[in-house]
Structure 1
Amino acid sequence: MKRGRHEAPAGEPRSVLADETEGYLLAHAEREQAQREAEDLCARMAWLTTAQAEELTGHYVRRRLDVTRQLMLGTVRRAEELRQEYETRYADLRLALLRRHAAGACAVLACAAGVSALAGVLPR
């Protein structure tokens, strides 16, 4: 039961396309940010040759994207764990509520049956 900001049911083509597009745009923005940071770093190191600056930029961008990927995967994993915990807790609460309602209904029926039986026994 995955729902994003779009409130469309999971698996619906619009939702899947929107999620994939959003993921692509986020990844692209992250890559651009890493590229800018690497270029700023290289600009502060005036002694680097062009080849060294390109190599350092490429290494920085790859490493930064790897770190970002690991952080996002960790976040997704934790979100799934929390979702599972909440679903389990919700199911437990629903079951407890059902039991309480059933016990309450039984108590009401027992009282009604007792009053009915008492009314039938007592003379008027």
Structure 2
Amino acid sequence: MDERPVDAGALIHELEGHLLIEATRGEGRAEASRFTRQFEWLTDSQRAEVEERFAEEYVSLARLSWRRTVQRGAELRGEYEEAYRVLRRRLVAGWVFGMVCLTAVAVLAVSCV
């Protein structure tokens, strides 16, 4: 047995991934079966072959879609983080400018009295 501590988060993500793939495979098989019903002239072995290939392609397309979604999510995250940094800099600069102005007004008010 390995003595390293178990990372529960990684384990959960791995389990979720397996469940998602299995659900997608089930969807692919169901869609493949629905698709091949229209081809009444196929033999049972041909139908099974078409269904298998259809299901494999279904899973491949789903994985490609997931990868693109992850990539786009990372891009959006970067864009939003940059926008947040810019807004934070503006807010801090505005706050500092306001404090400088308030201090200057206070100094002028004290010096005029």
TM-score by length of structure 1 reads: 0.78
Matched, 1:74 2:71: no
1:15 equivalent in structure 2: 9
Report the Cα distance in structure 2 between the residues aligned to 1:40 and 1:50, rounded to whole angstroms: 14
Q: Which runs of 4+ in 1 moved over 3 A?
A: none
Matched, 1:48 2:42: yes
1:113 equivalent in structure 2: 107
Correspondence list, 1:60-99, <5 A: 60-99=54-93
Q: Please provide the CA RMSD for this pair.
A: 1.7
Report the Cα distance in structure 2 between the residues aligned to 1:67 and 1:89, rounded to whole angstroms: 33
- How many aligned residue pairs are there? 108
Unpaired runs of 5+ in structure 2? Answer: 1-5
State the structure with bigger RCO (CA 8 A, min sep 6), 1 or 2: 2
CA drift of 1:44 comes to 3.8
Unpaired runs of 5+ in structure 1? Answer: 1-11, 120-124
TM-score by length of structure 2 reads: 0.85
Structure 2 residue aligned with 1:37, among 11, 19, 31?
A: 31
CA drift of 1:88 comes to 0.4
